Chain A
Amino acid sequence: MSNIKLEIINLRKEYGDLVAVDDLSLSVEQGETMALLGPSGCGKSTTLNMIVGLEQPTSGDILIDGKSVINTPSGKRNVGLVFQDYAVFTNMTVEKNLAYGLRVRKEPKDKIASEVLRVADFMCLSDKIDRKPSELSASELQRVAIGRTLVTNPDILLLDEPLSNLEADDRNRMRRELRSIQAETGQTVIYVTHDQIEALSLAHRIAVMNFGHLMQYDTAENVYQHPQNKFVGSFLGNPPMNFVKGVLRKEGDRIFIQNGDSSLPVPTDIGSKIENNSGLIAGFRPETLTVTSNEEDFSFSAEVLAVEPQGPESVVTAKFGDTQVKVVVPSESESATDGNKLNLMPNFDLLALFDPDSGMRLMKHGG
């Protein structure tokens, strides 16, 4: 494809004995927002630093517009990085901060002035142009930091945890603003975050990383609904995905996963492809379970242990076999009371089966 903006090939970074990024390969298309998501220390910031050129990879290649940039210094890669702590120069006014990148690039003065005005207007900073950063709020500082980067018109805009220093209110507003900035500029954006909500709400595609490995790279929807391994299932979603460990049993035309004395029915089209008596882990999201009144063919029952009301919905913790499962039910549901037995019906389209040893999904989504 010709519209691939960034391509990362077998990227690896070692710090002494520690492998921070291991064999990472992915590509980002022009105009796409990609989120690098993972817990702290998963290698996402290291990956970001290698893309912008602040770190040199141990091996592998990074292509921007099809050209390797491994040996290009960071200033020449035409990528823009917005830092977590903003990295706004406190000794300069907003205007000087915005103009900085162009001044360093020795652009003509009139071009700098017009570009700064354009970006200040776009970032809603026009009336703050003469202020010093100490007089700005956190979200205004964040806008200065993004504006400073946008003014240089980078091929790729990279954001390192841009919202983590903001208050909840500002964070929600900034998230909407980032969306509209991306939509208006058509900018290719790479977004590093440990916050799944940010990733899910902003990104077209999400690369989930853990311990330096790419766990899954897919659309936001697929990463959430069809995790390729247990880690992705557990890292995304709140409450996280339920995992029920058990053994697959085939009795006549009934196929189910046995856990203690409880059993979770599995539709034949899925179950028939798996060997009898093999151990596996079933994963299903709390909101994919529906409470049914009567015992249907594929429902299972679980005993309610606790109910946590959360506004319109309640999170129910229920006992199933020797594990606990979480279920999201409407708050008005009367059956969700402590000690009660719930009949639960999973959405089998969204039921995932994982190998208990590797944690990898047994059957790929759609396969």
Chain B
Amino acid sequence: MPGQKFTWYNGIGLLLALIFALFPVLWMLSTSFKPSDEWVKVPAVWVSGKPTIDNYLTVLAPEVLLEDRGGLDQYDEDGNLKQRSDESSGGGAQGAIADFLTKSAWQSIYGSLILASGGTALSIIVSLMAALAIARYRFGGNFTPFFILSARMFPPAAIAVPFVIMFSDVGASDTYWGLILVYAAVTVPFATWMLKSFIDDLPQEIEEAAMMDGMSRWKAHLFVTIPLIKGGLVATTLFIFILNWSEFLFALVLTYNKVSSIPVQMAKYFSATEGLLYGAQAALATVSIIPLVIIGFLIQKHLVRGLTLGAIKR
């Protein structure tokens, strides 16, 4: 607020809030560089004394690790090569390691990009039209917005199993398009409500003014409404993209081996000998936030605009 000084206790308050907000991210970043013995050590290791990029190699280039360690051999905690013992360990444990060490996470990163982008694009297109219909033409009366939101009023797990059955019937299981449809379906209610509020804030006169200048309704929406709610549109798109990017349940139950996504891949970093591989999970999580951080940075200006929208000075 103008006229008010920024005092030292404002600064401390901000710092505490910042630490609180960033702690999980920093912990994740720190863990991603820790060797396995430091992952769950008590007392906690804040910054690793012997940082390693093995976790990133496990995720992004496991073949390098395998090469270093002699093919499909197991390795111990210090990274020393263990003696291959075909008789004692059997195929089981070896197979479990091989599962994620023979296959990098690239397929799931690629999958997440396709699924999140496709689901978001479809969701935003559908929601934008729905929001216009509701905000401008009062489509279906007052009940429609609630009707749309009701699709999110029960836990997604309740529809996950029916989806699995339906999807296998129509051959949509383990396909990108199938999961994109699901992602669009579950995010349309949020996107519609968000976009509706942005359109509501925009006076209808502005479109009518464009129509007076000779535009059709469609053109007025396309060339006047949409550019003027750009900030809101960008904010909504990012929000939906994040929802889709981090979606786990549907991706888990509706994919098998052809399609994968980052959250599903993350759950696969589990070994019989070491339990959850926190380092690898942290490394993949760190990789996965990079696109979001870049997008967020690029559209920062629009995000702020999304909050201070208003085409007409009243």
Contacts and interface: CB of A to CB of B under 8 A. Distances in A.
Interface in B204-248: 205-206, 208-216, 224, 227-228
A105 B214 contact: yes
Nearest to A141: B313
Interface string A44-82: 000000001110000000000000000001111001110
A54 B312 CA distance: 20
B161 interface: no
Nearest to A132: B313
B314 interface: yes
A166 to B, nearest CB: 12
Contact of A87 (B214, B227, B310, B312): B312
Contacts of A79: 212
Interface in A78-130: 79-81, 83-91, 100-101, 104-105
A134 interface: yes
Contacts, number: 74
A86 B313 contact: yes
B227 A91 contact: yes
A104 B210 contact: yes
Contact of A81 (B208, B224, B311, B314): B208
A346 B215 CA distance: 57
Contact of A85 (B211, B212, B228, B314): B314
Contacts of A80: 212
Residue of A81, A105, A138, A165 with most partner-chain B CB within 10 A: A81
A283 interface: no
Interface residues of B, number: 20
Contacts of A88: 312-313
Contacts of A81: 208-209, 212
A74 B211 contact: yes
B203 interface: yes
A89 B313 contact: no
B211 A75 contact: yes
Contact of B228 (A86, A89, A149): A89
Residue of A75, A76, A134, A136 with most partner-chain B CB within 10 A: A75
Given A81-B209, A87-B203, A89-B228, A75 B313 contact: no
24 contacts: A54-B211, A54-B212, A74-B211, A75-B212, A75-B213, A80-B212, A81-B212, A84-B205, A85-B205, A85-B314, A86-B205, A87-B203, A87-B208, A88-B313, A89-B206, A89-B311, A90-B311, A90-B312, A91-B227, A91-B228, A104-B215, A133-B313, A136-B313, A138-B313
Interface of B: 203, 205-206, 208-216, 224, 227-228, 310-314
Interface of A: 52-54, 73-76, 79-81, 83-91, 100-101, 104-105, 133-134, 136, 138, 141, 148-149, 152, 165
Given A86-B312, A91-B311, A105-B213, 16 more contacts: A54-B211, A75-B216, A83-B208, A85-B203, A85-B312, A88-B312, A89-B228, A90-B310, A90-B311, A91-B227, A104-B210, A104-B214, A133-B313, A136-B313, A149-B212, A165-B314
- Which 7 A-B pairs have CB atoms at the shortest separation, nearest pair first? A75-B214, A87-B209, A87-B205, A83-B205, A101-B213, A104-B213, A87-B206
